[in-house]
Amino acid sequence: MTDRMATVERNTLETQIHVTINLDGSGKSHFETGIPFLEHMLDQVARHGMIDLTIRCQGDRHIDDHHSVEDIGITLGQAFARAVGDKKGLRRYGHAYVPLDEALSRVVVDFSGRPGLEHHVDYRRSHIGQFDTDLFYEFFQGFVNHANVTLHIDNLRGRNAHHIVETVFKAFGRALRMALEFDPRMAGIMPSTKGSL
């Protein structure tokens, strides 16, 4: 098995981003983004996905967090697309249900080669601390467009916005972990009747 690691740099007039991932890691993470709540959520992805993840971002946060959050999603998606390789032997599909007290969310992912996002989450309030909850959609849209995955996110119930978001990101990490595992019965086989993904 080859190393499934990638480093991606993305530099624009709005953001300068560095992402390093190891899909076969131990859940270690390091963040320098200046956006604490997003870092808290990305740590959930690393820990529950067993993905080593480093993200550094310098962005135009004097305007707002929009460009930084969206571009982190884009760059993270690019890193996944690069690290996953040819996809032979992958389970390809992953899903997870995660509860946190009254909140319950489901995430389903397909490393399909086709970007698609179904995001059905009512975050119940516009901000969690200083973080604009509208930006979660932008993060996931950026991710799917550049990772070339199909992603369905459904919050099934919940009242507390923090709990809702945390269940989404934990389920996202666990669904990624399942999809990216190698299936011993599929060794060397492309998980598609098309013969390519």
State whether residue 166 is helix, strand or coil.
Answer: helix
Enumerate the H helices of the chain as residue ranges: 36-49, 66-83, 134-147, 161-180
Contacting residues for 81 by C-beta, under 8 A, at least 6 apart? 146, 147, 148
pLDDT tens per residue, range 85-130: 999 999 999 999 999 999 999 999 999 999 999 999 999 899 999 9
Contacting residues for 162 by C-beta, under 8 A, at least 6 apart? 128
Residue 45 pLDDT level (bands cut at 50, 70, 90): very high
Can you give the residue range of the structural domain that contains 106? 5-186
pLDDT score of 1 = 57
- Tell me if 197 is assigned to some domain: no
- Tell me if 193 is assigned to some domain: no
- Tell me if 88 is assigned to some domain: yes
pLDDT score of 197 = 83
Query: Which pair of tokens denotes residue 122?
Result: 């009512």
- Tell me if 142 is assigned to some domain: yes
- Tell me if 54 is assigned to some domain: yes
CATH number at residue 106: 3.30.230.40
- Tell me if 194 is assigned to some domain: no
- Tell me if 192 is assigned to some domain: no
Give the residue with greater pLDDT, 175 vs 187: 175
In the β-sheet with 93-100, what is the strand arrangement from edge to edge? Answer: 93-100, 103-110, 150-157, 116-120
Number of domains in the chain: 1
